[in-house]
Amino acid sequence: MNIFNEPEWRIKLSKMSADASNGCGLSDVVYAQNFTGAVNHAVQALSDEDTEKVLALAKTIGIYLDGSEEQIDDGSCRHGLDPHWCPAGCGEY
């Protein structure tokens, strides 16, 4: 029996948020990708009901991408930057 523990998940998600911000280069796009990936990995073994609760909580703690976001093609690279100025070298490919 798996009982949803909100305070425990709040702590876990706060840690995931802090970890996601490390190495994102202050890019909200990279942060959101990192945070979303960590959350999705953490909920894999949960029931559908608990997964919904965790995802709702994740949206209050960090930038969680659930796929409903409007996709805007503004010419940015996957890091949300102008490809010619991306420090990851996106404009070189």
For 5-54, write each residue's pLDDT tens digit: 999 999 999 999 999 999 777 778 888 889 999 999 999 999 999 999 99
Cβ neighbours of residue 80 under 8 Å, at least 6 residues apart? 27, 28, 29, 30
Structurally, how many domains does the chain consist of? 1
For residue 44, the enclosing domain spans 6-92
Is residue 32 one of the residues assigned to a domain?
yes
Token pair, residue 27, equals: 């890019």
Is residue 50 one of the residues assigned to a domain?
yes
| 8 Å CB contact between 50 and 5 | no
Is residue 1 one of the residues assigned to a domain?
no
Distance between first and last Cα of the chain: 50
Is residue 52 one of the residues assigned to a domain?
yes
Q: Is the pTM for the entire model greater than 0.85?
A: no
Is residue 82 one of the residues assigned to a domain?
yes
